Amino acid sequence: MREKLFLRNPKNPILSAKDWPYEVHSVFNAGAAICKDETILLARCEDYRGISHLTVARSRNGVDGWRIDPSPTILGEPKRFKEERWGIEDPRITYVEEENKWYVAYTSFSSEGPLVSLAETENFKDFKKHGAILLPDNKDAALFPCRFNGQWFMIHRPVSMTSGASNMWISSSPDKLHWGHHEVLLKTSSGGYWDCVRIGLSAQPLRTEHGWLVLYHGVRGTTSGAIYRQGLLLLDLENPRKVLRRSDAWIFGPEENIEIKGDVGNVTFSCGWLLDEKKNRLHMYYGGADTVICLATAPFDRVMDYVRKMPEV
Ligand code: BMA
């Protein structure tokens, strides 16, 4: 029997469109943060046009009792930011301690394809948008929370026009807005592997004593469509361009009805997780079938034991 690391919360889905204070078609793929002792989810909300925006939900325990902003918190603003023409999606939130601010890397759905945009906030009420920071096609981005030799680092997922490859890349920047030193961090695997078709960052990188813990998603194509699952990576603490270990098997994937059936079936897709160090619990928020928001939790020490036994890269 395979060891199950993440167990689903019995209250799943913890948030869905029917909980929303205004009309939305679906809520999923939420970024996660802790602000003033509250769990903040920045949910991707899709309206009945098919256009997404982001809205804050707050809770004391991260499971229920959510207070949801009464109207969209961050909307696409195509007049100010042309690239936000068809909405904004899939936020990843990174707390930058040296500035006491959160940075939100999100996907802007531009007429040229998806690209990476950046915003910052000090309170999850006011957001300052910085606009597009990477060209299309690119998505699945998050900042690291600290500098390395003075430089900021970011993981992202461009798509190659030539090979069609969807690999994870890593880049650095002096100011979080201008990015260079682009390098492939991780390639899709091959053959029938769970992550052979496409990969991309899921939640924001998490610092641990053994290295940066990264949750990523992998896609496998089947005769009845794609399956989106989650795996883990461990990156070198001092040099996050170096992958130390990689899941050869997925650690989480669609099993429940709400993950198998929905707008896009067979999808579990995380954009945020939170570590409760006192309780030794790692909480992974994820979208089920691009329709609802769910939660699964794992004992952190067991995750780290597992990660340290994963194959070396
Ligand atoms: C990816 C992203 C996610 C979505 C997933 C499955 O490309 O766009 O937002 O959850 O596809 O549809």
Residue 26: is its pLDDT beyond 90?
A: yes
Determine the pLDDT at residue 3.
Answer: 75
Atom of ligand 1 nearest to the CA of 287: 10
Cα of 290 vs centre of ligand 1, distance in Å, is: 7
Pocket test for ligand 1, best of 42, 159, 267 (most atoms within 8 A of CB): 267
Q: Mean pLDDT across the stretch 284-295?
A: 98
| pLDDT digit string, tens, across residues 184-202 | 999 999 999 999 999 999 9
Domains within the chain, CATH numbers bracketed: 7-308 (2.115.10.20)
Cα of 36 vs centre of ligand 1, distance in Å, is: 30
Determine the pLDDT at residue 1.
Answer: 64
| pLDDT digit string, tens, across residues 231-243 | 999 999 999 999 9
Residue 2: is its pLDDT beyond 80?
A: no
Helix or strand holding residue 300 (H, E): helix 300-309
Which residues approach ligand 1 with their CB closer than 6 A?
A: 29, 89-90, 228, 264, 267, 269, 287, 290
Q: Mean pLDDT across the stretch 258-283?
A: 98
| pLDDT digit string, tens, across residues 118-166 | 999 999 999 999 999 999 999 999 999 999 999 999 999 999 989 989 9
In whole numbers, what is the pLDDT of the chain averaged over residues?
97
Residue 252: is its pLDDT beyond 90?
A: yes
More confident residue, 302 or 1: 302
Closest CA to 289 of 269, 262, 313: 262
pTM: 0.98
Cα of 154 vs centre of ligand 1, distance in Å, is: 20
Pocket test for ligand 1, best of 156, 199, 228 (most atoms within 8 A of CB): 228
